[in-house]
Structure 1
Amino acid sequence: MNPLEERMGYKFRNGLLLAEALTHPSISLERKNYPFDNQRLEFLGDAVIQLVVTEHLYRLYPDFSEGQMTKLRTRIVSRPALKAHAVLMDLGRYLMMGRGEEASGGRERASTLADAFESVVGAIYLDGGFDAARNFVLRETLDDFERIAKNPEEVNPKGTLQEILQAIEPCAPAYEVIEQTGPDHSKRFVSKVIWSEIELGRGEGLSKKQAQVAAASDALDRQLWLRKDKRSGTAASV
């Protein structure tokens, strides 16, 4: 095993899959006809992680609703969480990338590291099958599951949403009151949360703060930021 495989606890039978997982798309800008990059493995690994975490939450919390499990899954598979796993594995050190990308801080970039972690999961899945990928993901996310087991209800949806979004693009979500109803002593507010020109969610409450929290919770349920995060270039390069 090489040092990275030792850290991962997995020995690849096909070393080319690991090499592909560690190849940033920027390499093709400087090396024409380079045979691969990690974007396809990232796509696959993202799906594998989602399935593994979803199944584990389903078994771990038999009394939780779909909405509750969705919020927990969002915390575990968020960009900051995946980046943290990549940092612990020192994945940035092993990435193959273009000189320009490296000079601009690519080895420490949150989205690059999160993408690399997803790619590694995809590579393990192809090399060793679902059980191998599942064991790896659960081993890496064990602390996350233990942490949310102590606090399964999200107490700060606005903070969680901002953390997720700023790991994709460095601009904070904005909240806007779009409706007020009722008399002064019993008003109800409806707010929406907007980020990067996308309306992510809406919520209502007896105060502006309650409405903002409800809007953030709605955004965490709907995960509409994924549409931007998976588009070519823009958010993924942050």
Structure 2
Amino acid sequence: MLELALTHRSWAYEHGGAPHNERLEFLGDAILGQAVTVKLYADHPELPEGELAKRRAAVVSTTALAELARGLSLGDALRLGRGEELTGGRDKDSILADTVEAVIGAVFLSTDPATADRFVLDLVAPLFADPERFTVTLDPKTTLQQEAARRGLPHPPYSTEGTGPDHDRRYRSRVELDGIIGRGEGTSKKAAELAAARDAVTALRAGRRRARRGDA
């Protein structure tokens, strides 16, 4: 089951249409969303529905799940086709995030719902523990615009390009503010630009923290 969760469709295509992880990904996405939703509902009785939805989106986003995948070195274990291998598929946010969801689906099918729920909550615990997760991540484009205004600079422009066929379009975006460059990718232009803005805001805040410590 784990091997199936780590098998990308590009590998399956090159091996005679072998099974791949997209069905597990579909299942894992639902299990992840439920576990995170229940935790947020229980932990924050004071928050309205809209705020809960924003926080859930921050935890289950492609960027957040890709962070978790890198922490687990899932990219090293992926079974990828030659094309994805040559274009850096082992470190693509979209592939890594999908793999995390597939692993969650595999855990659910291999154990039981309660075990899968505990697995998900242990997995995403670092995301909930990040103090900036629910500030930077909720609306990073607005945060970046506010940062530009604070520095007396115009709104930062985004450069976004799409690649791949219509049924599997991937977008990469780049944004720059005051010498800081943010990059992101996603399955839509909006998702890629949000990821790029989040990357830039995170870098800007990290720079301020270093400056306060005297490291920069």
Question: For the pair shown, which has the larger CA radius of gyration, 1 or 2?
Answer: 1
Percent identical residues: 36
1-structure distance, mates of 2:61, 2:133: 17
1:171 to 152, 155, 173: 173
What is the CA–CA distance in structure 1 between the aligned matches of 2:133 and 2:81, rounded to whole Å? 41
Q: Could you give the per-residue CA deviations for residues 85-108 of structure 1, whole angstroms, max 9, x where no partner exists?
A: 000100011111112211111111
For structure 2, which runs of at least 5 residues remain unmatched after alignment?
145-159, 162-169, 176-187, 192-216
Give the match for residue 116 of structure 2: 133
Structure 1 gap ranges (5+): 1-16, 174-194, 201-238
In structure 1, the residue matched to 2:139 is 157
- How far is 1:132 from its partner? 1.4
Structure 1 length-normalised TM: 0.59
Deviation at 1:154? Answer: 6.2
RMSD: 2.9
CA deviation profile, 1:181-202 (whole Å, cap 9, x unmatched): xxxxxxxxxxxxxx74x8x9xx
- How far the C-alpha of 1:155 sits from its partner, in A, is 8.2
Cα shift at 1:33? 3.6
Query: CA separation in 2, counterparts of 1:156 and 1:56?
Result: 18
- CA 1:64–1:44: 2 relative to 1, 3 Å: same
Q: Secondary structure at the match of 2:57?
A: helix
Kindly provide the amino acid, as one letter, of the partner of residue 159 in structure 1.
K
Structure 1 distance, partners of 2:133, 2:67, is 19
Q: Which residue among 110, 118, 124 is the counterpart of 2:93? A: 110
**How far 1:171 moved relative to its partner?**
3.3
Matched positions, count: 157
TM-score with structure 2 setting the length:
0.64
Are the equivalent residues in 2 in contact too, given 1:71–1:154 (CA < 8 A)?
no
